[in-house]
Amino acid sequence: MSTAVVRHVTRVERTVRACVIGATFATISQVQQALGAVRATGTAGDIVGFAIPLPGDPKDPAVAAQVVSAMIAPRGIGAWFMNVLDPHKPLPTYSEQVSGRNVPLAHAVLGDLTNWVGAAGYMRVPVAGRDPVWIVGRPNHAVSVQGGNGVGRGDALVTIGIPAAQLEAFRGAIADGLCVVTTCETDPGRAERDASIMRRAGAKAVFVHPLNASHEPAS
């Protein structure tokens, strides 16, 4: 999905009560970097939504094993450090990924960010002309609280805050293996901060979509 497909809205003619900020990422490490930076600002995990595609049905043990082995194994300097600390420690198993309200594979894809965001679940994303895609997803609760005015309704991507006009583009992006992250902010400065965080983390495309815009002229 190109940046031309995902429209980046930065200015509206009405008073905006909140914005949903979203981005696509090619890798889990980029998602972790973006979410880690948002968490470091001191914000609550309730403003975050995400969709991370899986290679198949997460209830299939073979799929679960593939996700765990591909995503949770440390790499680079982290792999070297972990090997020095405990060279014989085995990788966590599928059953060991269970944590609180999150589905078993949440830890495999998000690590210690899982408990901050909470309530991650398995969802299926319909894609026109293609098989549905299983994801680890989390609804963006802040978008729901703000009413989601202008945001589409009816499937998993809606719950994380994807605007109606961009649902098909994002479905295609997920079918192509891209991850999606959203945040929701009521302050324009924080909205631009989140967009900048996503760009620095390597986002392929970023959008800022106004929610609950009134019909009064902006001051």
> Tens-digit pLDDT profile for the chain (219 aa)?
443 344 444 444 455 578 899 999 999 899 999 999 999 999 888 889 999 999 999 888 888 888 877 654 444 444 444 444 455 555 444 444 443 457 778 877 888 888 888 778 899 999 999 999 999 998 888 777 665 544 444 568 888 889 888 889 999 999 999 999 999 998 889 999 999 999 999 999 999 988 865 433 333
With 0-12 CB in 10 A as exposed, 13-18 as middle and 19+ as buried, what is 13? exposed
- Please check whether residue 25 lies inside any domain of the structure: yes
Q: Look at residue 68 in the predicted model and tell me its pLDDT.
A: 74
- Please check whether residue 53 lies inside any domain of the structure: yes
Task: Quote the number of domains for the chain.
Answer: 1
Say what the pTM is. Answer: 0.75
Amino acid at the residue 110:
L
- Please check whether residue 7 lies inside any domain of the structure: no
Domain enclosing residue 165, as ranges: 18-211
- Taken in order 177, 93, 74, 201, is the CA torsion positive or negative? positive
- Please check whether residue 32 lies inside any domain of the structure: yes
- Please check whether residue 218 lies inside any domain of the structure: no
- Please check whether residue 158 lies inside any domain of the structure: yes
- Assess contact for 195 and 21: CB atoms under 8 A: yes
- Please check whether residue 169 lies inside any domain of the structure: yes
Sheet with 130-138: strands ordered across: 121-127, 130-138, 48-53, 179-185, 18-25, 205-211
Q: Which of 196, 208, 187, 202 lies closest to 43 in space, CA to CA?
A: 187
Q: What CA–CA distance (Å, rounded) separates 48 from 209?
A: 15
- Please check whether residue 96 lies inside any domain of the structure: yes
Q: Look at residue 71 in the predicted model and tell me its pLDDT.
A: 58
